[in-house]
Amino acid sequence: MKSSKVKVKTSTNVLMIGNGFDINYKLPTKYSNFLHVVDCLSRFIVEGKPVLSVAQVFNDSVLQKSDKDIKDLLDTYKGGYDEDLDPEEIEAAFCDARNNVWFQYLNKSLRDGGWIDFEQEIKMVVKQFAFALDNLIEETSEGVFLHFPVVNDNTHVNHVCRQFTCFFEKEGVQSAFRKDSNAVAEPSWRHSVLESFTEKPMDKGFPYRLKRTEVVDCLFEELKMLSRMLRDYLYWFVDKPVSTLKGKGMSGDCLLQTWPWAATQVISFNYTHTLKELYGSGDYPKMHYIHGEIDNNSEIVLGVDSDNQDEVGCIDTTFVKFKKYYQRANYGTDLSYLNYMYYNSMSSTYDLYVIGHSLDVTDREIITETFARAKRIIVFYHNEDAREKRIRNLISILGKERFESLRKNNMLRFVSQKNLEMEWETFQLIHNQML
């Protein structure tokens, strides 16, 4: 196997990576890893136990029982997690985790097997709150109330909204609720909305009003607190240890050690610096962190994709703060990417390689743009299920005609990651077949 870093003299190459890139190295970057580790940290803080090192946390028996990934990475990188931690900084970063409504909700929502999709969960919460604020609010002279149907008590709106107890009294009472005078009254759980989210009437006898903007703002601020915890977790428990792990068995002992460096530009949907740390040299390659990076306490993007409420003619900005495109604009995380894609004449065409990214529709905008300018696209997958998922996702994003056009013109290939272990010349042969 060749280990030297070879730069191939071809047209401009762009590499797109997602969280699968870090997971390939057994790094604990899954959302489930984050929830399990922060839950462990919260327990330490409550018990008054100082958090002194990453190893101390990862060796916790309760954590290892709930998250098998942690034990696996300790077995893989023996002695690689002795990184010291600052107990005061850790406590300041994670002391409010158990009081954060998003953390509580997501922690309860962990699926069997320890997998969870934050974007899909956030999308469902936003959708259900939008429905509740439009359909389940009762404004009276006594106060404002939220009604949740008793029938089918496990419906999404009940399951979701009732867990966000920062807005209303936790315990509701059984009542009856009719949406309007013509509707049939239905049994419901009646929850009183906290006064801080209501507007008191000027005159007695008039109804209280729900402060909808304040409700949405509070929901988003809680999400921002969660994103900051995610950022700090990735900094302390992933990014910092990587430099040590390089000497503990973490290396690019496959084609990855060679071929990314034919790519001068990397579009990263990760917050971490793993690729740069393992393979980078100075300013090479140019990294574009679409959703931000865990650096200088900057904000990172954590939200959902756009929908029909973002289209001209039916724009509704009530929940726009939760949209990724809004956060990218507000935090400026995609300025480097935009500069390359739209202001650099050299970016007109390129070969695009995708690894560790599921091509999920939540990243539709960026995927559509990068695929549109690529003259050749190679999407890597780690197993057959992953290949099928990537194909389905691409069809959802590009549509059948565009997807079929790329394939018929030999511009799109799906390649097993097993081929990353091929000799470079063999991979070049596959690549050149697409010329």
The domain tally of the chain equals: 3
Domain end call among 218, 235, 269:
218
Residue 150 shares a structural domain with residue 41: no
Q: Is the dihedral of CA 306, 309, 310, 316 positive or negative?
A: negative
Residue 82 and residue 96: Cα distance in Å, rounded?
Answer: 25
- The two structure tokens encoding residue 274: 């793993």
**CA dist list (Å): 378 to 30, 45, 340, 417:** 24, 46, 20, 11
Domain coverage including residue 82: 31-107
Query: Within 13 A of 345's CA, how many CA atoms are on the CB side?
Result: 0
**What integer pLDDT is reported at residue 192 of this predicted model?**
87
State the pTM of this model.
Answer: 0.89
Whether residue 391 is contained in a domain is answered as yes
Residue 17 shares a structural domain with residue 140: no
Q: DSSP readout, 290-308? A: TT--SSTT------B---G
Helix (H) / strand (E) element for 173: namely strand 173-177
Residue 151 shares a structural domain with residue 280: no
Residue 103 shares a structural domain with residue 138: no
Residue 284 shares a structural domain with residue 403: yes
Among the listed ranges 36-50, 211-225, 301-315, 380-394, which one has the minimum average pLDDT value? Answer: 301-315
Task: State the residue for tokens 């009542």.
Answer: 175
Work out the pLDDT band at 253, boundaries 50, 70, 90.
very low
414 phi/psi in degrees, rounded to 5: -110, 120
Of 417 and 403, the structure prediction assigns the larger pLDDT to 403
Cβ neighbours around 411 below 10 Å, total: 17
Is the per-residue pLDDT at 429 higher than 80? no
What mean pLDDT, rounded, does the chain reach? Answer: 84
Is the per-residue pLDDT at 387 higher than 80? yes
Per-residue pLDDT of 343-371, as tens digits, reads 765 556 888 999 999 999 989 999 999 99
Residue 347 shares a structural domain with residue 404: yes
Residue 423 shares a structural domain with residue 392: yes
Whether residue 402 is contained in a domain is answered as yes
Range 296-300 average pLDDT: 87
Is the per-residue pLDDT at 432 higher than 90? no
The single-letter code of the amino acid at 63 is: L
Whether residue 237 is contained in a domain is answered as no
Cβ neighbours around 297 below 10 Å, total: 9
Q: Can the peptide bond before residue 285 be classed as cis, meaning omega within 30 degrees of 0?
A: yes
Whether residue 319 is contained in a domain is answered as no
Q: What is the dihedral of CA 210, 213, 215, 219, to 10 degrees?
A: 170
SS3 188: strand
Per-residue pLDDT of 82-108, as tens digits, reads 889 999 999 999 999 999 999 999 998
Whether residue 361 is contained in a domain is answered as yes
Any idea what the CATH number is for the domain that residue 385 is in? 3.40.50
Length of the chain: 435
Task: State the residue for tokens 């002992």.
Answer: 253
Per-residue pLDDT of 112-159, as tens digits, reads 556 788 998 999 899 888 888 888 888 888 888 887 776 554 456 666
Among the listed ranges 160-169, 347-356, 373-382, which one has the minimum average pLDDT value? Answer: 160-169
Whether residue 317 is contained in a domain is answered as no
Residue 275 shares a structural domain with residue 377: yes
Residue 129 shares a structural domain with residue 99: no
Residue 50 shares a structural domain with residue 17: no
Cα Rg of the chain (Å, integer): 24
Of 424 and 344, the structure prediction assigns the larger pLDDT to 344
**What integer pLDDT is reported at residue 92 of this predicted model?**
96
What pairing do the DSSP bridges indicate for beta strands 186-192 and 144-149?
A: antiparallel
Work out the pLDDT band at 171, boundaries 50, 70, 90.
low
Domain end call among 107, 129, 160:
107
Range 217-229 average pLDDT: 96
Of 317 and 328, the structure prediction assigns the larger pLDDT to 328
CB within 8 A of 205, min separation 6: which ones?
A: 141
Nearest of 231, 298, 242 to residue 22 by alpha carbon:
242
Put the strands of the sheet holding 137-139 in their side by side order: 137-139, 144-149, 186-192, 173-177
Residue 86 shares a structural domain with residue 131: no
Residue 65 shares a structural domain with residue 175: no
The single-letter code of the amino acid at 27 is: L
Cβ atoms of 121 and 163 within 8 Å: the answer is no
Domain end call among 218, 234, 265:
218
Whether residue 389 is contained in a domain is answered as yes
Cβ atoms of 337 and 290 within 8 Å: the answer is yes
**What integer pLDDT is reported at residue 430 of this predicted model?**
61
Whether residue 68 is contained in a domain is answered as yes
